[in-house]
């Protein structure tokens, strides 16, 4: 893969052994520990405009989730190896081996789902939690089942293997880039750095990575959903200070209520909310506003 030192100046590279295999992470800065988790269909590279600013105040760790980027992609069936509970354990292992038992966490998209599951399961590890442009998995599926929002890629990617994998393999760039453009405010790829897009394409061009991403969504439709439902019934809540940062386009287009209210009514009753002038990809569409919001919260 292309060298990324131009996108992450001053960041050290680490490959850390976990139960999933080797997890790739970059680290820079001094101060309280902070981990940044990317979303679908991207990699840690999505933080390239945000992480250097945060590293001025925090020991900042950007990592590739299992199955994405430069991290290992464990074999899996029916989502078994891509449950957010397992992916959260990767974060604990990575941060622990870097010397951090407690840390703040910022997660976008799938990384946000890993983050809130980790905060629910292991409250002693997460000091602060910022979630970028997501609703709880249980509410996404509630909306799909009620016909409020279309199943779209959630339904397609979670179909049994190898149906979606084979369909995507016919034209992976067209599939992933089509989704990404649709989720931006201006309906194009213009907000993405060309070097970052090269990294994203390299990832999804590997069929094992496409399978991993489908397994991620299969887990979302089964294990992750079941764990959310169990926690809702038991009244389990996120214990740490929480920020819900959303763009003013993607989640809000068909929202029945503001995303922050959805979180207050489910897992984070005391959460703060901020809306950023952006589509779904806050860290790349409006990095300065994202930095400002995270700095104020963290």
**Residues annotated catalytic, as ranges:** 109, 280
- Cα–Cα distance for residue pair 100/106, rounded to 1 Å: 15
Which residues are registered as beta bridge partners of 16? 23
Cα separation values, 23 from 113, 132, 220, Å: 18, 22, 21
Residue 28: strand, helix, or coil: strand
Cβ burial 145-169 (10 Å sphere, 16+ → b, else e): eeeebebebbeebbbeeeebbeebe
- Cα–Cα distance for residue pair 105/122, rounded to 1 Å: 13
């Amino acid at each position: 893969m292309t060298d990324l030192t131009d996108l992450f100046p001053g960041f050290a590279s680490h490959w850390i052994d976990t139960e999933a295999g080797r997890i790739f992470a970059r680290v820079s800065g001094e101060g309280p520990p902070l981990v940044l988790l990317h979303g679908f269909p991207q990699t840690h590279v999505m933080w390239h405009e945000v992480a250097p600013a945060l590293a001025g105040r925090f020991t900042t760790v950007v990592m590739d989730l299992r199955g994405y980027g430069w991290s290992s992609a464990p074999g899996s069936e029916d989502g078994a190896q891509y449950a957010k509970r397992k992916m959260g354990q990767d974060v604990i292992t990575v941060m622990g081996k870097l010397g951090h038992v407690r840390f703040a966490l910022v997660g976008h998209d799938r990384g946000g789902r890993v983050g809130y599951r980790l905060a629910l399961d292991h409250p002693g590890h997460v000091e602060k939690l910022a979630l970028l442009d997501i609703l709880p998995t249980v509410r996404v599926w509630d909306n799909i089942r009620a016909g409020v929002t279309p199943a779209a890629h959630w339904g397609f990617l979670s179909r049994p293997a190898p149906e979606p994998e084979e369909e995507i393999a016919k034209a992976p760039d067209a599939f992933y880039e089509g989704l990404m453009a649709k989720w931006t405010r201006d309906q194009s790829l213009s907000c993405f750095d060309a070097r970052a897009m090269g990294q994203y394409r390299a990832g999804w061009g590997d069929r094992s990575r496409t399978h991993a991403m489908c397994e991620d969504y299969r887990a979302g439709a089964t294990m992750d959903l079941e764990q959310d439902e169990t926690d809702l019934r038991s009244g389990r809540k996120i214990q740490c200070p929480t920020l819900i940062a959303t763009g003013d386009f993607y989640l809000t287009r068909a929202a029945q209520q503001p995303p922050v209210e959805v979180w207050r009514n489910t897992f984070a009753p005391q959460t703060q909310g901020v809306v950023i002038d952006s589509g779904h990809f806050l860290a790349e569409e409006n990095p300065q506003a994202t930095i400002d919001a995270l700095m104020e919260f963290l």
